[in-house]
């Protein structure tokens, strides 16, 4: 199973049988190396309803007839636009053909602006635990530090965790160090930084401080093979 990073919080997973993208914020994301009009995916997973996470979901989903798995209110709204959606709520899980998805807590907001300025409430924000072929990916979404991250680390054998470090809108580097320790993943990767001026951070400096030396700063487009 291959996992790649594409700027901000965009993560792609290739299971060998299915192509999955998480929070496909492409247009407006200068760091992203993807093109929504040419992306080939089977599944879109969304953590919450902010524009920099929902991103290009509608275009990608319609182009590929992709399944969109998202928190219930967001899934219902996207379903009203004709997308193929499956709603989940925090704590809930579902075994799909491509793998198991469970939504975790995340302390953040969840609403986005339509092109006409309409504000759409997207329900509660979430993190995503994705388990495929015995490997578990934890995408924390946008969140503050909270102590139950330690519980998620104890309950799950996490192979790779994507942790926001940007501050201002999410936890900052200091809190993210604790999050990295608590989720106890084999590898931790910083995300949600340097996209906008308020979240400029030094990911290498952060990674050098992570206990256990298991942090890795993924470059744009870089792929990690979890099968090896």
Q: Give the per-residue pLDDT at 111.
A: 96
pTM (two decimals): 0.97
Q: Give the per-residue pLDDT at 81.
A: 95
Residue with tokens 């578990």: 136
Q: How far is CA 40 from CA 19, 61, 170, in A?
A: 7, 9, 30
Structure-block tokens of residue 152:
């998620």
DSSP result, 104-121: EE--S--EEE-TTS-EEE
Q: Where are the alpha helices (DSSP H) in 4-147?
A: 51-54, 57-64, 72-79
Walk me through the domains of the chain, giving residue ranges and CATH numbers.
Answer: 2-225 (3.60.15.10)
In whole angstroms, what is the distance from residue 172 CA to residue 166 CA? 5
The stretches in the chain having pLDDT less than 50 are: none
| Cβ–Cβ under 8 Å, residues 167 and 143 | no
In whole angstroms, what is the distance from residue 191 CA to residue 145 CA? 14
Q: Residue 20 burial (CB < 10 Å; 0-12/13-18/19+)?
A: buried
Between the two ends of the chain, the Cα-to-Cα distance in Å is 9
Q: How many helices (H) and strands (E) does the chain have?
A: 6, 15
């Amino acid at each position: 199973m291959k996992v790649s990073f594409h700027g901000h919080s965009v993560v792609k997973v290739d299971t060998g049988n299915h192509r999955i993208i998480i929070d496909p914020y492409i247009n407006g994301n200068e760091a992203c190396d993807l093109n929504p009009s040419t992306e080939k995916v089977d599944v879109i997973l969304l953590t919450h309803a902010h524009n920099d996470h929902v991103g290009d979901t509608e275009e990608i989903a319609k182009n590929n007839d992709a399944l969109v798995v998202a928190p219930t209110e967001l899934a219902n709204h996207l379903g009203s636009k004709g997308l193929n959606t499956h709603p989940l709520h925090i704590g809930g899980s579902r075994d799909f053909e491509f793998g198991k998805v469970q939504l975790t807590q995340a302390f953040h907001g969840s609403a986005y602006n339509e092109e006409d300025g309409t504000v759409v409430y997207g329900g509660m924000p979430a993190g995503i635990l994705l388990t495929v072929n015995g490997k578990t990916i934890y995408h924390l979404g946008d969140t503050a530090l909270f102590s139950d991250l330690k519980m998620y680390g104890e309950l799950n054998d996490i192979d790779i965790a994507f942790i926001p470090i940007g501050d201002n809108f999410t936890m900052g580097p200091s809190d993210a160090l604790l999050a990295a320790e608590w989720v106890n993943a084999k590898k931790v990767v910083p995300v949600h930084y340097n996209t906008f001026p308020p979240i400029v951070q030094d990911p290498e400096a952060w990674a050098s401080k992570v206990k256990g030396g298991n942090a890795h700063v993924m470059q744009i487009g870089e792929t990690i093979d979890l099968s090896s």
